[in-house]
Structure 1
Amino acid sequence: MEMIRRQKIYEIVANKIKEKIKNGELKPGDKLETVEQMAKSYGVGRSAIREALTTLRGMGLIEMKQGEGTFVKEYDYSHFIPSKDSLLLLDKKELRDLFEVRKILETSTAFIAAQNRNKDDLTLIKNALDKMTTAVDNEEQVERADVEFHLAIAEATHNSFLIELMHHISDALFSTMRESRRFWQSSEKLTLQRLYLEHESIYHAIVDQNSELAKEIMQSHLEKVKGGLHSMEKDEQ
């Protein structure tokens, strides 16, 4: 029988503070209560508070300033993913690896966006979709509208982590779209009309708040992108 580990008091306190940071109750720059005040607020000893703060500092969520107090930090994603400049230097194999991350990220993003979207979100997604048709004769503008469409879906999740990650990889996302579309055009596997219809289907699933369908269509769409990138690699070998 699997044993369930009991949380230590300082872990419970750390999780409560972390949740306040996550939901925006505590914002970057906010000063936390003193150790004594928090001990009273949470009904625990001061040693548990100190351990909790040490844990949160190790996560990069707070910083302790000598003589001033403890403050919430701006969350730094750069420890986990490459810089935008380095993303632009990725080779074909690395772009394919990035695409795998993109597929995991965007199928979930479409699913969550369908649940959480509001009228303003739908307007932004539709605007990006419309740009894809009006810019049909300008390849770069179509690509930018394509990226804008996917970023607008990320915004519709109202999940700060997903939004930040999607914006961070947007330049590399632009590169994968450009390369894969060039292959599609040369092989006539995907016309701009088909590309638009796929995006339109994703949009309508989000409008209908059909999470499963939005995820399914997004996955199907991205599988075609993967096929284009894979074929390009084979042609270059």
Structure 2
Amino acid sequence: MKVRTSDIVFKAIEEKIFSGEWKSGTKITSEPQLAKELNVSRISVREAIEKMVALSILIKRQGEGTFVSDLSTSTYLNNLIPMLTLDKYDYMEILELRLVMDVESARLCAIRCSEDIIKELEEAYSEMLQYEGDMEKFTEKDLKFHMKIAEGTQNSLIIKINEMLRDILNYHQRGLYHTLGPVGGIKEHKFILDAIKNRDAELAGIFVKRHIERTIKELKDIQR
């Protein structure tokens, strides 16, 4: 597959940022100079810069030039959103992802979360019970429960990734509950909630692991 010249320029600029040569707030080299340094056309340089501006990696200031944005890891994670929302994942891949991510999130939440988060988890669980017969609302409250666990980790990357995956997880959860029903989930969420309330990190992780592994097993049984 032929590589576009603008993509080569993009990688070259990205390398200058990653290496620390161009730090946040730095005014980057002018387009003509970059074109000369990289031995490419100014059009290719302009295309690469415009793409990086669109991704919030660079910022243009009228009359001043182009500067490196105030970057954080979430800036780069934001760029994954189009891919994550356009790609299609089957249930098993989502469950395997959650098996990796949710278990440690529950452990961290039990250790770090505030009393306010515990109250919000209790509220979400209560609402799950209230809407047991309404799959749309039940799924919404189930997702709220898991998002609050992520928030309780106090880890900005875990929170950000869960926010990015929200729509995919929502679709996934609705499909699961229509297939498997909510009963097992209600029982298991109570165990998870109690473990977090008791600040028992190991037990919280174990109950989340059992919850997801049970779901995987039941789904495989149905698929057979």
Give the TM-score of the pair, scaled to structure 1: 0.63
Alignment of 1:198-237 (within 5 A): 198-234=188-224
1 CA distance for matches of 2:21 and 2:123?
Answer: 41
Aligned length: 172
2 CA distance for matches of 1:85 and 1:121?
Answer: 28
Percent of aligned pairs with the same amino acid: 21
Kept in 1: contact 2:135–2:177 (CA 8 A): no
* TM-fit CA distance, 1:54: 5.1
Where 2:19 maps in the other structure, the secondary structure is helix
1:154 corresponds to 2:118:
no
Amino acid at match of 1:180: L
The aligned residue for residue 39 of structure 1 is none
Alignment of 1:16-55 (within 5 A): 55=19
Alignment of 1:81-92 (within 5 A): 83-87=83-87, 90-92=88-90
Q: Give the unaligned 5+ runs of structure 1.
A: 1-50, 186-190
Call closer, same or farther: CA 1:201–1:53 in 2, change over 3 Å.
same
Kept in 2: contact 1:57–1:63 (CA 8 A): no
* TM-fit CA distance, 1:174: 1.7
2 CA distance for matches of 1:177 and 1:200?
Answer: 18
Where 1:197 maps in the other structure, the secondary structure is helix
2 CA distance for matches of 1:228 and 1:177?
Answer: 14
1:95-142, CA deviations, whole angstroms, 9 ceiling, x for partnerless residues? 322321111000010010011011111111111111101112211100
Alignment of 1:42-191 (within 5 A): 55-56=19-20, 62=24, 64-66=26-28, 71-74=69-72, 75-79=75-79, 83-87=83-87, 90-92=88-90, 95-185=91-181
Q: Give the unaligned 5+ runs of structure 2.
A: 1-14, 29-63
Kindly report the root-mean-square deviation, in angstroms, between the aligned alpha carbons of the 2 structures: 2.7
2 CA distance for matches of 1:172 and 1:233?
Answer: 21
Where 2:154 maps in the other structure, the secondary structure is coil
Call closer, same or farther: CA 1:70–1:214 in 2, change over 3 Å.
same
Call closer, same or farther: CA 1:130–1:54 in 2, change over 3 Å.
closer
1:50-105, CA deviations, whole angstroms, 9 ceiling, x for partnerless residues? x99652478xx846334687652242204556645315xx253xx32232111100
The aligned residue for residue 196 of structure 1 is 186
1:11-40, CA deviations, whole angstroms, 9 ceiling, x for partnerless residues? xxxxxxxxxxxxxxxxxxxxxxxxxxxxxx
Call closer, same or farther: CA 1:184–1:159 in 2, change over 3 Å.
same
Kept in 2: contact 1:63–1:73 (CA 8 A): no
Amino acid at match of 2:160: E
2 CA distance for matches of 1:86 and 1:63?
Answer: 33
Amino acid at match of 2:191: S
Amino acid at match of 2:86: S
Higher mean alpha-carbon deviation, 98-107 vs 76-85, is at: 76-85
2 CA distance for matches of 1:232 and 1:63?
Answer: 55
Kept in 1: contact 2:147–2:162 (CA 8 A): yes
Give the TM-score of the pair, scaled to structure 2: 0.67
